[in-house]
Homo-oligomer: A and B are copies of this chain.
Amino acid sequence: MTDSIPAPPAATDRSCPDSAPRVVIVGAGFAGLAAAKALAGSALRVTVIDHNNYHLFAPLLYQVATAALSPADIAEPVRHILAGHPNVEVILGTVEGIDTTARRVRLRDGENVGYDRLLLATGSTSTYFGHDDWAPHAPALKSIEEAREIRTRVLSAFERAERARDPAERERLMTVVVVGGGPTGVEMAGSIAELARHALARDFRHIDPTRARVILVEAGPRLLAAFPDDLAAYAGRSLERLGVDIRLGQAVESIDEGGITLAGRRIPAATVVWGAGVTASPAAAWLGLATDRSGRIPVEADLSVTGFPDVYALGDTALCRDAEGRPLPGLAQVAQQQGTHLGRALRDTLTRGTPLPPFRFRNRGNAAIVGRHAAVFDFGPGRRLRGFSAWLLWAAVHVVLLVDFAQRARVSLQWLWRYLTYRRGARLITVPPPRR
């Protein structure tokens, strides 16, 4: 027998008339979200599809991995961000393919979403350069789940070291290896070193966390290849002051549950973090397209995909070149500017028929954090900043950039608190640590 309570009334559908052109955006990262915001309030029907229910402020993921921030501090529900715009609809779903002839996107649950214009902003994932067997032993830093996994591994290793009797095993447990000398690797290594030196310093009885070894490995000849030489050198010195052991020009030979092998040398390590390789997500395969080495889709100056006039690629998904023909880097600011540009351009094109203008990137400065109050900031030829002033600027910019006011208030308070006390507020072990 079925309960007889009256059903809720038919839902209100507050979207545009069905006749309006439909723009579908796959991915609610920096590019997709910026495009959706630019299209909000227009006469177009906009649909945002993402496999997560939240927009992730990915540049701060390393702070979740090192227990400084909670996942909710750097993530906000997509539908909440776009709640005020009746012409924008949000679908929590996973895209599995595109039918460019019928102009529709196929979701994993079998549903199809039709489009007039399709924006592919699916971001990037980590790659182990053909060594997928390394993945279980060296989580990367691309999602909240991975950040939580890294946090659990680092904290659990200290817990086990506290109880270990064998000095060699204790040393292995207190060794963290970060692979990759780009911004992710540099930020992770600095942040883990600080976690051990400050936040954990007084908490143990049988080990001294300040003697933990943090090793940063880079196959290339120097750190931060995308930054000017002097900033990279400064970053290296800052990390070394924090106790980070930097190994340049050393390629990874193998990673297993016991540790890592590097240029013929074995380093026993309980925790290995992967910050080395990034590749575009499979959007190119949906279109049957050839890509560059990192899986990106070559686009025209207006961000449309060559041969697919109704399909656009942006953010980490797109291989977009600047006026000199150099590929634009996979940065949040590139993605955001492309999203805003394309959203506005499509609004004008579809409602007033104006042609799509070309995208032009404006460099607002590229930063990496190298410790609690040190950073490097590169604004282009001859304009750079480093040290505390760069850190302050970075902190201010990132607080402002966070997507809504609630997050700004929360993050800045915690940063202030952490800054004043060296403490970490999110040191929870909540996923089962690996048994090794």
Partner of A70, one of B72, B84, B204: B72
Q: Which residues of B contact A80 (CB under 8 A)?
A: 203, 423, 427
A187 within 8 A of B: no
Question: Are the CB atoms of A428 and B266 closer together than 8 Å?
Answer: no
Copies in the complex: 2
Which of A331-339, A377-385, A402-410 forms part of the interface with chain B? A402-410
Stretch of A25-33, A206-214, A271-279, A346-354 that contacts chain B: A206-214
List, in ascending order, chain B residues with CB within 8 A of A77's CB: 203, 427-428
Kindly list chain B residues whose C-beta atoms are within 8 Å of the C-beta of A5.
213, 245
In angstroms, how far is the closest chain B Cβ from the Cβ of A255?
A: 14
> What chain B residues lie within 8 Å of A364 (beta carbons)?
none
Whether the pair A202, B83 counts as a contact (CB closer than 8 A) is: yes
Q: What is the 8 Å Cβ interface bit string for chain A, positions 47-88, against chain B (1 contact, 0 not)?
A: 000001110000000000000001111010101100110100
Among listed A11-19, A35-43, A307-315, A322-330, interface-contacting one: A11-19
Q: Is B145 in contact with A430, judged by CB distance below 8 angstroms?
A: yes
Of listed A12, A93, A406, A425, residue having the most chain B CB within 10 A: A425
Whether B423 and A406, one on each chain, are in contact in the complex, defined by CB atoms closer than 8 angstroms, is yes
A218 at interface, CB cutoff 8 A? no
A1 touches B266 (CB 8 A): yes
Q: Is A9 an interface residue (CB 8 A)?
A: yes
CA gap between A92 and B84 in the complex, in Å:
46
| Known contacts A53-B428, A268-B2: A11-B72 contact under CB 8 Å | no
Chain B CB within 8 A of A318 CB? no
- The reply to whether the CB of A281 lies closer than 8 angstroms to some CB of chain B is no
- Residues from chain B with a CB closer than 8 A to the CB of A91 are 162-163
A98 to chain B, nearest CB (A): 19
Asked if A428 meets B14 with Cβ closer than 8 Å, knowing A208-B8, A423-B406, the reply is no
Interface size bucket, A side? Answer: 35 or more
Report if A429 contacts B (CB, 8 A). yes
Residue of A8, A83, A423 contacting most chain B CB atoms (<10 Å)? A8
Nearest CB of chain B from residue A51's CB, rounded to whole Å: 10
In this assembly, does A393 line the interface, its C-beta being within 8 Å of a C-beta of chain B?
Answer: no
Q: Tell me whether A167 is interfacial, beta carbon within 8 Å.
A: yes
Output the least CB separation between A175 and chain B (Å). Answer: 9
Residues of B within 8 A of A397 (CB): none
CB-based contact B11/A430 at 8 Å: no
Q: Which of A118-126, A292-300, A367-375, A413-421 contacts B (4 or more CB under 8 A)?
A: A413-421
> Is A79 touching B203 in the complex (CB atoms < 8 A)?
yes
Taking the complex as formed, is A111 at the interface, i.e. its CB lies under 8 A from any CB of chain B? yes
B428–A410 touching, CB < 8 Å: no
Please state if A1 and B205 are interface contacts (CB–CB under 8 Å): no
Q: Which residues of B contact A425 (CB under 8 A)?
A: 72, 406-407, 410
Q: Is A174 positioned at the interface, with any CB of B under 8 Å from its CB?
A: yes
Given A1-B265, A7-B168, A75-B428, 17 new contacts (CB under 8 A) = A3-B265, A8-B174, A9-B211, A11-B170, A71-B428, A72-B426, A77-B427, A79-B203, A80-B203, A80-B427, A83-B203, A86-B205, A92-B159, A406-B423, A410-B410, A410-B414, A413-B413
Residues of A within 8 A of B (CB): 1-3, 5, 7-15, 52-54, 70-73, 75, 77, 79-80, 83-84, 86, 89-93, 111, 144-145, 148, 155-156, 159, 162-163, 167-168, 170-171, 174, 202-208, 211-213, 245, 264-268, 406-407, 409-410, 413-414, 417, 421, 423, 425-430
**Sorted from nearest, which 4 A-B pairs have the closest CB atoms?**
A8-B211, A72-B426, A70-B70, A79-B203
